[in-house]
Structure 1
Amino acid sequence: MTARLGVSAAGTSAERYSRGIEVLKRIGGAGYDIPVHRLAQVAPDLARFTVEFAYGDILSRPGLDLRLRQIATVAALMAHGSVQPQLKYHMTGFLNAGGEPAELVEMLFQAIAILGFPVAIDAVGIVREIFRERGLVFDPIAPVSDDGTARYQRGLEVLDGLMANPEAYMEKLESTSPELARWSVEFAFGEIFGREGLNPKARQIAIISMLAAAGNRSDLLRLHIEAGLKSGLSRTEITEALMQLAVYAGFPSALNAFGVANAVFTKPEQKEKEGAGGWVSANAIVSEPRKARSERGLATLAKTSAQAGEAVVNSFNDLAPDIGRAIVEHSYGDIFNRAGLDAKTRELAACSALAAVGSKATETPLRVHANAALTAGATQAEIVETLLNLLPYRGYPAVEESMRVVGEEFRKRSDSEVGALTS
């Protein structure tokens, strides 16, 4: 007979439900039970399972404090991309659990590097709505004031602090794309992971949860689990965060993440590196100044996305202007202006990528880039063909939804052109 594994949650169904309700109250505040009651009208057993299992068995466990649990939950839901009501509930729950508004905004920065700009673009509206409903007066996070030339060196320092063998990481990227290697250091590590708005433990919980929920990110997940241990997270805290993924990202995501975590936990401890600072100094280069990247990015933005792109960039000004700045400097200044693809092909590729993701978070960017493709000379038929090409790879539902979005943009554009002719 197989021995019982682990320790089961204590108590009867009624005790688990009661324990779950207490956690739910701490997270949900005054309206904590509204979603559960709404669900119970359709599926009473699922409502009960939600309280008993998710809150009574998992979130009530003592191995991870509730604030960090909410960071893990918010991160996993952001990775999903299409669960905005639940994301809003748990962002609010993070504040109810003692989290700071600025920490919530900082999570948008982490999402940029791990999940992409569309997730931050989508989430900023939810954060703004929460602050308004709570009557919070939020001072925007101050923009960086440096000239940007030290981004690569700062990225190397962060990279060197996270991993035992940064040289191997760099060589692996450089062998295929030196540009990707440089941007990973300059932008992901130098501008995002080196930010101080989240303490190291909270930042690594967020990153680990995003990577694990996104799936198929084993190498980076391994790196950030190691970094989490180095930042002060215990194995228990990491284990609890990954266990929680079973609730918010499904058991397969959690089980795959535990396979990576087990490899980290059972790996022999490595000796502390010696002379790490010398490696950073020997490999540091001077990064391009922000001003040049910004000017190039603004010119590319004006040429491609015009007012629609500018509206997205400016949508962060009241909370975190640096996210808008990063869109201009990195997306448009570093990437979209490159000569390797002509403007039309690049915009069609963007439409394909966004439609393939097919989440609610990618809807607004798909609208922006469909219009940018038309501005760059693509025909409506070419955009339609780009989406039809996805059918074998993403299936009919994702393509049908993307076709709905671009169809609306086609009609808006046609209406505005007719209006211009008749005015």
Structure 2
Amino acid sequence: MTALLGASAAGTSAERYSRGIEVLKRIGGAGYDIPVHRLAQVAPDLARFTVEFAYGDILSRPGLDLRLRQIATVAALMAHGSVQPQLKYHMTGFLNAGGEPTELVEMLFQAIAILGFPVSINAVGIVREIFRERGLVFDPIAPVSDDGAARYQRGLEVLDDLMANPEEYMEKLESTSPELARWSVEFAFGEIFVREGLNPKARQIAIISMLAAAGNRSDLLRLHIEAGLKSGLSRTEITEALMQLAVYAGFPSALNAFGVANAVFTKPEQKEKEGAGGWVSANAIVSETRKARSERGLATLAKTSAQAGEAVVNSFNDLAPDIGRAIVEHSYGDIFSRAGLDAKTRELAACSALAAVGSKATETPLRVHANAALTAGATQAEIVETLLNLLPYRGYPAVEESIRVVGEEFRKRSDSEVGALIS
């Protein structure tokens, strides 16, 4: 074992540093060394380790091209949710490494399905800032034009193509929540994973990195590692992407992901499915139209958040109108409009979920849903109790931060009401 480890050594410290600086220049462009110099003022050794290990040992490896490496990095940083300066640096680095602006925007769609809307929406602002700083005139990605009725059919086809046994996957979900099974097919597979803005290899690198960095997603990680192999990724490329997680998501995340990858790599090859098209045809249903979902979503949004739904949709028109459409159709039209929970309970549940995540990306949504809870009839005391209930499960720092956020919204609302009375 010692000999094996020694054989893979990457050279002297000076060689590793020099190699790392060259990669850093390609990623960082003109200001490539600014973050390292800032870090060196506080922790010189950590600055050196960053160049030697992250860039000199890992990102310089030949098994994965730099563009795909930057996709993996951006995906992992998005999964973190609270490292916006680093995310901006590496989104810019993706463009410096030859990535296309459209591909960067398309990664936001993949994040919706894997990490949730808050992560994607938070990243929209970062992408806008990058484009503005680069003087980049971006032609927004045209919205889909179909009526949405074939979403389930498309989703089944993608699901069947990705999975050796799609029936087993569907049965696990349907036994407890048929709705989740349907949305998984219609939305995740039929609307997001079917998009063409990223080629199949890049899409799977992004999804694999998001799942591995998020943690505790072994079943889906296995699925997408298998899908990556089917899409043309080599074992080496997948291994390199997972190795990179040690830098951006930590060694535990990387080691756990390698356990999943090893199970995939060592599994006996399965025979090609026979009659797969028959399974898709037998299970296909006609999806609800976009128009019906949009109308229901707009009504729900206006009722719970007192917002003009069209304003939400249009707020993404400069990059990708389909992000706004997905918020209205899926979040509000499919989910928040359901009758199983009353509006107040649903908004309190949203506040609890967002506070439990507790990332920078969920701060603005927490503000939105705290106000929506008040609009739906919740008292400030009920919102506070909802957040205090998280203490045993999430700890004091996360709850204190969430209380700070909703407290600011309470004061804004109070000031607004006082102003209205005075006027």
Contact 2:156/2:190, CA 8 A, preserved across alignment: yes
Call closer, same or farther: CA 1:65–1:7 in 2, change over 3 Å.
Answer: farther
Equivalent positions of 1:326-405 (< 5 A) are 326-405=326-405
TM-superposition CA deviations, 1:363-419 (whole Å, max 9, x none): 010000000000000000000000000000000000011111100100000000000
Whole-angstrom distance in 2 between the partners of 1:374 and 1:416: 14
Displacement after TM superposition at 1:275 (Å): 1.2
- Quote the Cα distance in structure 2 between the aligned partners of 1:297 and 1:244: 40
3-state SS, counterpart of residue 77 of structure 1: helix
Q: CA deviation at 1:309?
A: 7.0
Alpha-carbon deviation of 1:4?
3.4
Contact 2:225–2:238 (CA under 8 A) maintained in structure 1? yes
Match of 2:275?
275
Partner of 1:133: 133
Question: How many residues are aligned here?
Answer: 423
**Are the equivalent residues in 2 in contact too, given 1:72–1:206 (CA < 8 A)?**
yes
Query: 1:7, CA displacement in angstroms?
Result: 4.0
Query: Residues 175-222 of structure 1: CA distance to partner in whole angstroms, max 9, x if unpaired?
Result: 000000000000000000010000000000000000000000000000
User: In structure 2, the residue corresponding to 1:6 is in which secondary structure?
Assistant: helix
Give runs of aligned pairs for residues 29-40 of structure 1, distance below 5 A: 29-40=29-40
Aligned to 1:206: 206
Equivalence map 1:94-133=2 (5 Å): 94-133=94-133
User: 1:296 Cα deviation (Å)?
Assistant: 0.1
Assess if the C-alpha contact under 8 Å between 2:309 and 2:328 holds in 1. no
Distance of aligned partners of 1:321 and 1:84 in 2 relative to their CA distance in 1, 3 Å threshold: same
Cα deviations across residues 107-147 of structure 1 (Å, max 9, x unaligned)?
Answer: 00000000000001100000000000000000110000000
Aligned equivalents of 2:167 and 2:7: distance in 1? 42
Retained in 1: the 8 A contact 2:149–2:288? yes
Scaled by the length of structure 1, the TM-score of the pair is 0.99
Could you list the runs of 5+ residues in structure 2 that have no partner in the other structure? none
| Compared CA separation, residues 218 and 314, structure 1 to 2 (3 A) | same
Distance in structure 1 (CA, Å) of the matches to 2:370 and 2:313? 17
Q: Provide the secondary structure at the position in 2 that maps to 1:421.
A: helix
Q: Tell me the CA shift for residue 308 of structure 1.
A: 8.1
Q: What CA distance in whole angstroms lies between the structure 2 residues aligned with 1:11 and 1:309?
A: 58
3-state SS of the aligned residue for 1:5? Answer: helix
Would the aligned equivalents of 1:355 and 1:387 in 2 still touch at CA under 8 Å?
Answer: yes
How many angstroms does 1:5 deviate by? 3.4
Residues in 2 aligned to 1:313 and 1:367: alpha-carbon distance in whole angstroms? 19
Once the two structures are TM-superposed, the CA of residue 315 in structure 1 deviates from its matched residue by: 2.7
Identical counterparts, % of pairs:
97
Q: CA deviation at 1:25?
A: 0.1
How far apart, in 2, do the equivalents of 1:100 and 1:381 lie? Answer: 48
Post-superposition Cα deviations, 1:140-164, rounded to whole Å, max 9, x if no partner, equal: 1000000000000000000000011
| Alpha-carbon displacement from aligned partner over 1:248-288 (angstroms, at most 9, x marks no partner) | 00000000000000000000000111111111111100000
Q: Structure 1 residue 316: deviation in Å? A: 1.3
Distance 1:415 1:9 in 2: 62
- Cα contact 1:152–1:182 (8 A) shared by 2: yes
Secondary structure, in 3 states, of the residue corresponding to 1:3?
A: helix
Alpha-carbon distance between aligned partners in 2 of 1:133 and 1:111, rounded to the nearest angstrom: 23
Q: What SS is found at the alignment partner of 1:400?
A: helix
| CA contact 1:313–1:325 (8 Å) conserved in 2 | yes
Contact 2:69–2:241 (Cα < 8 Å) also in 1: yes
For 1:12 and 1:79, the matched residues in 2 are separated by 33
- Are the equivalent residues in 2 in contact too, given 1:9–1:57 (CA < 8 A)? no
In 2: Cα distance, 1:311 partner to 1:47 partner: 44
Query: Quick one: distance in 1 between partners of 2:232 and 2:390?
Result: 44
CA contact (8 A) 2:211 2:220 kept: yes
In 1: Cα distance, 2:57 partner to 2:249 partner = 16
Q: Distance in 1 between matches of 2:198 and 2:39?
A: 34
Matched with 2:239 is: 239
CA-to-aligned-CA distance 1:39-68 (integer Å, 9 cap, x gap):
000000000000000000000000000000
Question: Conserved in 1, the CA contact under 8 Å of 2:352 and 2:390?
Answer: yes
The offset of 1:6, in angstroms, is 7.2
Aligned counterparts of 1:93 and 1:78: Cα–Cα separation in 2:
14
SS in 2 for 1:307: coil
Of 22-31 and 303-312, deviating more is: 303-312
How many Å separate the matches in 2 of 1:134 and 1:16?
A: 31
The answer to whether the 8 A contact 2:302-2:308 is kept is no
TM-score relative to the length of structure 2: 0.99
Deviation at 1:313, TM superposition (A): 4.0
Distance 1:84 1:7, change over 3 A: farther
Q: SS at 2:168's partner residue?
A: helix
| Cα distance in 1 for residues equivalent to 2:29 and 2:231 | 31
Aligned 8 A contact 1:140 1:321 in 2: yes
CA contact (8 A) 1:387 1:402 kept: yes
Q: Is the 8 A contact 1:308 1:368 kept in 2?
A: no
Aligned partners of 2:25 and 2:219: how far apart in 1?
Answer: 37
Residues 379 and 308 from structure 1, CA distance in 2 versus in 1: closer, same or farther, beyond 3 angstroms?
farther
**RMSD of the TM alignment (CA)?**
1.1
Please say if 1:406 is aligned against 2:406: yes
Q: Cα gap change, 1:346/1:142 in structure 2, threshold over 3 Å: closer, same or farther?
A: same
CA distance in 1, matches of 2:395, 2:341: 27
TM superposition shift of 1:311: 5.2
Aligned partners of 1:309 and 1:368 also within 8 Å: no
Provide closer, same or farther for how the CA distance between residues 314 and 399 of structure 1 changes in structure 2, counting only shifts above 3 A: farther
Contact 2:298/2:309 (<8 A) preserved: no
Which stretch has the larger CA shift, 142-151 or 311-320? 311-320
Relative to 1, partners in 2 of residues 1:187 and 1:238: Cα closer, same or farther, differing over 3 Å?
A: same
**Contact (CA 8 Å) 1:76, 1:210: kept in 2 or not?**
yes
Please state how far the C-alpha of 1:2 moved relative to its aligned partner. Answer: 5.1
